[in-house]
Structure 1
Amino acid sequence: MPSLADGVLSPDVSPNAQVDEFKDEFSKPNPHAPRELSTLQAVGLIATCTTAMLLTTANATAISISLPTIGDDLLIPEYRLQWLISAYSLSSGCLLLFFGRIADLYGRRNVFLLGVLTLGVFGLGCGFANDEITMDILRGFQGLGAAACIPAALGILAHAFPPSRIRSVAFATFAAGAPVGAALGSAIGGVLTQLTEKRWRSTFWFMTGLCALTIIGGVASFDPDGPSLELDRRVDWLGAFLVTAGLVLVVFALSDGTIAPEGWRTGYIIALLVIGVLLLGAYIAWELYLERKQDARSTAWWTPPPLMRVTLWTRARGKLAVTLVLALLEYGSFMSWSYWVQLYYQDYLLLSPVLTMVRMIPMFVTGVVCNVFVAMFVGRVPIAIILSCGTLLTATASLLFALIDPAEPYWAFGFPAAVLSVFGADFVFSSGTLFVAKVCLPHEQSVGGAIFQTMTQLGSAFGLAITTIVYDSQLSKESRKYGVIVNQNGTNAPPAAQLASYKGAMWAGFAIGVLGTVLAALCLRGAGIVGHQKGGDNESAMSGETVRDEEAQRAERVQSEKKS
């Protein structure tokens, strides 16, 4: 069914003819209405989307735990190893909005399948790579697959499951794919790297096999894509360029600032960061301009529909924007904890990849429990309470490592931190994506999911950049106390200086998590319950106000203008 609010009315057709055309359209059966799914079909659809989320996360953590081995095999210096992670994160995080828009316009099923195929094919290539440059390039192309399949999966779930308890279950299960993928990636990466003949190469080949199974699941369980709801299906290529280029430069500067020749004072880091911010500012201004032109029914060739309606951030009286910022802060805290704790175990305690993986297993169990909790209670507990508690618990995991005593057993600090670390990530992702699905219109679902995912990716880069700055500063300061000038890799730092630096990074992660807790408690008060229970009192997130009511009012206004 075409969207009256977003469609472009032809000036060459009489108003009465246009009204009759829309009446005819509305009298037809809605081809976009989700079909009734059997239990088996619903399980297959949810499992396929969740596996895609699992794959995108595992492709980061499995490689993270294998970095020392990859560096030894391919002769990659330690300070450049992070680019095997950053290349993937750059492409997967910076192209989410573009692929989200493409999925909404040209079919979520096709974009999902193409994304998983890309993830698998270039992952297979990584397993055969023999040098650093090839690995970095293939990892970058692999990230394109993640950028394509995740927004499409969110749109598929939102379309397949109308407001009901099963929607809450579907989104909570999908969200569980992130921590489960992180834990599975660490487990698979650790075991295959240490116990197989091909070591880290086996990890890439295993992930490629999972991609093949996901493609089969998508073909079997996803409905064919229907035509877009929008009458004007042009792509905002200028907006896509501005936002992608801006995000790439900002994320690159955040990732590379700590290892540049002169650190954050390096000329190209400052220049790229400034240019990236300016490009993002230009993107926002351009999208606002296009949004005004679309609302004014402009048919000019240079005014396509915006890649992202900027006013989407103001939905639910601005509380959607708060939720998106919370996603950035929470993932900054969670991903920085995950990164530093693995380095602490392997580089400070000198544990093997398998023993490190074993210490991360509680994350897997807690992740599943957290999402069961969300599925059961997101329709009963206000979102402010869920997000405040989640972000505080993740911050507590960082606090435990900031106070850790290496002489104490794992059960004193490591175990409770592993248990608590995933609460915030799970609560924020599942509740946040439900909130996005509620306030976004049918033709915005993949774009809405892409915005949320982009904020988590930016949060990861932001958190790692901030904590790395603290780590490097602390390492240099503490090493000087022992008369040591640390090298670029920090490999000659005294153990006491290393421990103090890990603690400093964890204090920074704790501060980021607490900031998220305060923001959730203060700014989401009155947001109410976001769980979808059809016919329940919580059908609206904000005092009976829904975006679809706003869209209906806009449609009525357009009809009135046409009649006049």
Structure 2
Amino acid sequence: MTQLVVVLDGTIVSISLPQAQLELDMTDVQRQWVVTAYALTFGSLLLLGGRIADFWGRKRTYILGLAGFGIASAYGGLIHTGNELIIARGLQGVFAALMAPSALAILTITFPRGRERNTAFAVFGAVAGMGAAVGLLLGGVLTEYASWRWCLLVNVPIVIIVALAAAYLLQESKAEGDTKLDVLGTVLVVTGLGSVVYGFTKAEEGWDQAAAWIFLGAGVALLVAFFGWQARAPHPMLPLRILNRTRSGAFLMQMVAGATMVGAMLYLTFHMQIVLGLTPLHTGLGMVVQTVAISATVPVVTRLLPRFGPRPFMIIGPLIAAGAMLFLTRVTVSGSYWTEVMPSLIVNGIGMAMLFVPVQNLSLLGVDPHDAGAASATGNASNQVGASIGLAVFTTIYAEVTAGSHEPAVLVDGYHAVFRTGAIVLFIGSIIAFTMIRGTKEQLMPGMDRRS
């Protein structure tokens, strides 16, 4: 339920954004930041959230995150300006950064190895894959029949139920030994990621903008400083021992998944509503085929994973998804959802499911229990940072092509550019898997057997 809420909230407001933009009189830049504020605060604070969970207690941190997330959601559903909505989304991201790594760390500790672990992570990965599409569908239903505000308010009863269940069902656990937080590391990674994303946002006004290059350069420098500090910090937020070759490859693959599933799919929903004229409900329903494709593919991949290991799926899956993105570059102003959009969603769902099933498990394989929260946070952070940077890049490319025009033909050209870029990102992801995910299936996922 936690993974569903976390991923769902990355996309649920996407369907409602056109209506929220009209009601709150938001600019296009503010519209983008409604999505980016959540992904950026979530991604940049996840490492800190993971360490808090390890040291303070995973169950305690988890319940605190749930409570704060519910309060932030209630605030977001009651605001009256675009800036307030952006603030509410940022607060959602802050508390999601507490509950998400806690949940994944609890899963890692509960299922340390073997067949049950494979099944648990297959379910977790499937929910991660389906959550984005479920968010689009639920967002469509709520926007059509209630209000865009319910895309935020719907979280309140969910988190109350989950928090009550957690209080009774979960056992407390925490890391032993050093339990000091890395304050400097937190400042470096948060400001670094924020500067990079803001730099891409400024680039929407043109790459000749000095501010864009200043923020991008500063962000890269801060992130380099962050990794340098982690190598010698007495209590690192991200212990570099976590970043072996295979695990680093899995984290990079999660960035690729976040960039395409949030960034590129957001622009597909804009095409379906603004150009094809579909209602929010019909747009959400139209995205369900991707969820169905993911749901149908996950059990097949789960059964085949013990036989072939994760590497082939992590290479082939992104290539299949890239093909779906290239097919989307054929969308037209007068086109049909059935012939131009739906086939791509089905193929993309198949390709992404092949990635989702192994990547979560692989990114946490062999992690010491002391570092479970940090490792799970790094995986989640990779996905959210990929989403925020990917959305900023896609928005910059879209803005350059459309140059402020609202003519349907020009908008479609902008969408084509976004989808082509998404295909390139997925192709790069396949290369990452080919070069970094190395070893036999027994080495990559020990304890697996064909019964798994």
| TM-score class, shorter | over 0.9
Asked if the contact 2:39/2:385 (under 8 Å) is kept, the reply is no
- In structure 2, which of residues 170, 189, 212 is the aligned counterpart of residue 222 of structure 1? 170
Quote the Cα distance in structure 2 between the aligned partners of 1:534 and 1:518.
Answer: 27
User: Counterpart of 2:411 in structure 1: which amino acid?
Assistant: Q
The aligned residue for residue 254 of structure 2 is 327
Q: Is 1:520 matched up with 2:433?
A: yes
CA contact (8 A) 2:306 2:449 kept: no
- 1: CA distance, partners of 2:164 / 2:397: 45
Structure 1: how far apart are the matches of 2:28 and 2:397?
A: 19
Q: Which runs of 5+ in 2 are unaligned?
A: none
| Equivalent pair of 2:255/2:383 in contact (CA under 8 Å) | yes
Match of 2:25? 75
Higher helix share: 2
Instruction: Assess if the C-alpha contact under 8 Å between 1:531 and 1:538 holds in 2.
Output: no
* Residue 408 (structure 1) shift: 5.0
Distance 1:327 1:58 in 2: 16
Report the Cα offset of residue 405 of structure 1: 4.6
1:273 to 216, 234, 255: 216
Q: Which amino acid aligns with 1:501?
A: G
In the alignment, what sits opposite 2:420?
A: 507
RMSD across aligned positions (CA):
2.3
Instruction: Please give the secondary structure, in 2, of the residue aligned with 1:65.
Output: helix
Query: How far off its partner does 1:265 sit?
Result: 3.0
Q: Which amino acid aligns with 2:164?
A: I
Give distance in 1, aligned partners of 2:450 and 2:327. 40
Preserved contact between residue 175 and residue 371 of structure 2 (Cα < 8 Å): no
CA shift, 1:439, in A, is: 2.6
* Match of residue 178 from structure 2: 232
Indicate whether 1:257 and 2:202 are aligned.
Answer: yes
2:374 aligns with: 447
Task: Work out which of the residue numbers 204, 217, 241 in structure 1 matches 2:187.
Answer: 241
1:383 aligns to 2:313 (yes or no): no
Question: 1:404, CA displacement in angstroms?
Answer: 3.0
User: Distance between the aligned counterparts of 2:130 and 2:310, measured in 1?
Assistant: 23
Give identity over the alignment, percent. 27
Query: Which of 235, 240, 245 is the equivalent residue of 1:310?
Result: 240
Q: Residues 132-531 of structure 1 correspond to what in structure 2 (within 5 A)?
A: 132-196=82-146, 199-225=147-173, 227-229=174-176, 231-254=177-200, 256-259=201-204, 262-290=205-233, 304-313=234-243, 315=244, 318-405=245-332, 407=334, 409-476=336-403, 487=404, 490-491=405-406, 494-529=407-442
The AA in structure 2 aligned to 1:60 is: G
**Structure 1 residues 241 and 383, CA gap change in structure 2 (3 angstroms):** same
Contact 1:330 1:512 in 2 (8 A): no
Report the count of equivalent residues.
Answer: 452
Structure-to-structure mapping, 1:40-51, within 5 angstroms: 51=1
Structure 1 length-normalised TM:
0.76
Aligned residue type for 2:357? S
Structure 1 residue 117 displacement after superposition = 1.3
Shift of the alpha carbon at 1:387? 0.6
After TM superposition, give the deviation of residue 141 of structure 1 in Å. Answer: 0.9
Shift of 1:531: 7.3
Kindly report structure 1 stretches of 4+ aligned residues shifted beyond 4 Å.
Answer: 405-408, 529-533, 535-539
Counterpart code for 2:189: V
Provide the TM-score with structure 2 as the length reference.
0.93
Kindly provide the amino acid, as one letter, of the partner of residue 38 in structure 2. Answer: Y
Aligned AA (2:202): G
Q: Deviations over 1:38-82 (max 9, x none)?
A: xxxxxxxxxxxxx11111122221111101111121121233211
- Deviation, 1:307, is 1.4
The CA distance in 2 between the partners of 1:166 and 1:525, in whole Å, is: 24
State the partner residue of 1:297: none
Letter matched to residue 273 of structure 1? L
Deviations 1:355-405 (A, max 9, x none): 111110112212222332343233222222111121112112211111235
Gapped runs of 5+ residues in structure 1? 1-50, 291-303, 477-486, 540-564
Aligned partner of 1:462: which letter? I
Listed one character per residue, the Cα deviations across residues 201-224 of structure 1 (whole Å, up to 9, x for unaligned) are 222222211111111221222112
Q: Is the 8 A contact 1:529 1:538 kept in 2?
A: no
Counterparts of 2:448 and 2:303, CA distance in 1 = 17
Change in CA separation of 1:112 and 1:321 when aligned onto 2, cut-off 3 Å: same
The separation in 2 between residues aligned to 1:282 and 1:342, in whole angstroms, is 38
Distance 1:420 1:220, change over 3 A: farther
Which amino acid letter does the alignment assign opposite residue 136 of structure 1?
Answer: I
Partners of 1:108 and 1:427 in 2: CA distance = 30
CA distance in 1, matches of 2:116, 2:215: 45
C-alpha distance in 2 between matches for 1:246 and 1:334: 23
Structure-2 change in CA distance of 1:135 and 1:335 (3 Å): closer
- Classify 1:106/1:179 alpha carbon distance in 2 versus 1 (closer, same or farther; 3 Å): same
Shift of 1:158: 0.7
In structure 2, how many angstroms separate the alpha carbons of the residues matched to 1:508 and 1:346? 21
Name 1:4's counterpart in structure 2. none
Q: 2: CA distance between counterparts of 1:538 and 1:264?
A: 54
Asked if 2 retains the 8 angstrom alpha-carbon contact of 1:164 and 1:532, the reply is no
Return closer, same or farther for 1:495/1:224 CA change in 2, 3 Å cut-off: closer
Larger mean CA deviation between 420-429 and 138-147 belongs to 420-429
Asked whether the 8 Å contact 2:276–2:335 carries over to 1, the reply is no
**Paired amino acid for 1:305:** H
Measure the CA separation in 1 of the matches of 2:315 and 2:114: 24
Q: How far is 1:137 from its partner? A: 1.4
